[in-house]
Amino acid sequence: MNTPAATGAPPETRGLESAFEDTIARDQRVEPRDWMPEGYRKTLVRQIAQHAHSEIIGMQPEGEWITRAPSLRRKAILFAKVQDEAGHGLYLYSAAETLGADRSDMTERLIEGRQKYSSIFNYPTRTFADVGVIGWFVDGAAICNQVPLCRSSYGPYGRAMVRVCKEESFHQRQGYELLLTMMRGTDAQRAMVQDAVNRWWWPSLMMFGPPDDNSPNSARSMAWKIKRHTNDQLRQRFVDMTVPQAEKLGVTLPDPELRRNEERGHHDFGSPDWAELQRVISGDGPCNAERIARRRAAHEEGAWVREAATAHAAKQAARTREGAAA
């Protein structure tokens, strides 16, 4: 019980900022009502909102396949997965709200194109094999990104990530299992899987963001322990993790430069087309307009449901008041 308070040591006079820096340095978590620098708050709101939007927009490429999934089992699985993505979005909006962000404001910013979401969801899902490859690559990449975020310095974000990560594991496994099943099928099915792998490999590597020497926000986010690893470190981890899975599956990853480097203990691999990433991020990907239009339509066409629920709640509250008065 030999704490400063217990020994009656004179209180040091330190600023709010150094108390915050102390919390970060001691690897403790920052909680919603703590003082925090405006830059920290803004960076978190930007990152968490972008992450939440990605989950919500991410429902679309796979949601398109629910009605066309080849069996009741696959439909049920896909339904559950898409529902999880919605849940992940809501966990994250909830975390952003603890920082003072407003939920309907975030939705507006998304449908007006003022806040971004992951570039990966601007690519089309052409065949059912794409559903499998998204689970394997995209959710696999998301796991690489998100596991370290469970230790993010901002408490509510880290806690949301713990829940998200538990659920992502099912997403990745169902995708890989789907592909294993197709690979045991016909030549046409195997070709379909290889085609999906070819189309999704490079965009998946881009999910980790620009290379470290061109990632303006990384250093500060690392110093604040919002991020724990650099984009390139996470990309490397994803490649190393995926190569043996591809071998087991019997597909070829479309990179002639991909090979094991025994010296480094990692795989060397080619460089994604960063100009393409820039184009997709700035709105010129294959599906950007379609994704936003769909989100906007869902929001606007759902307005009457929100209004009806509000009216119902008001009526119930009035009845309760009348009942109490009578």
Partner 1 sequence: MSETTKGDWPLYEVFVRGKRGLNHVHVGSLRAADDHMALTHARDLYTRRNEGVSIWAVRSDTIAASTPGEKDPFFAPSGDKDPFFAPSGDKVYRHPTFYDIPDDVPHI
Return the axis-axis angle of helices 139-149 and 187-206, rounded to nearest 10°: 40
Minimum distance between the CB of residue 98 and partner 1, rounded to whole angstroms?
8
Q: What does the alpha-carbon distance between residue 79 and residue 153 come to, in Å, rounded to a whole number?
A: 33
* Burial of 224 from C-beta contacts in 10 A (0-12 / 13-18 / 19+): buried
CB nearer partner 1, residue 13 or residue 71: 13
CB nearer partner 1, residue 103 or residue 266: 103
DSSP 112: T
Q: Tell me the pairing of strands 266-268 and 259-261.
A: antiparallel
Minimum distance between the CB of residue 91 and partner 1, rounded to whole angstroms?
6
CB nearer partner 1, residue 167 or residue 195: 167
Nearest residue to 157 via CA among 36, 21, 60: 36
Minimum distance between the CB of residue 83 and partner 1, rounded to whole angstroms?
7
Q: Which residues bind partner 1 (CB under 8 A)?
A: 1, 3-6, 8, 11-16, 19-20, 22-23, 26, 28, 31-35, 80, 83-84, 87, 90-91, 94-95, 97-98, 100, 102-105, 156, 159-160, 163, 167, 306, 309-310, 312-313, 316-317
Minimum distance between the CB of residue 70 and partner 1, rounded to whole angstroms?
24
CB nearer partner 1, residue 289 or residue 309: 309
Minimum distance between the CB of residue 13 and partner 1, rounded to whole angstroms?
6
**End-to-end Cα separation, the chain, in angstroms:** 58
Nearest residue to 231 via CA among 314, 163, 308, 141: 141
Nearest residue to 205 via CA among 248, 146, 252, 269: 269
Contact criterion met (CB below 8 Å) for 182 and 250 = no
Minimum distance between the CB of residue 160 and partner 1, rounded to whole angstroms?
7
CB nearer partner 1, residue 29 or residue 266: 29
Nearest residue to 153 via CA among 272, 25, 66: 25
CB nearer partner 1, residue 80 or residue 191: 80
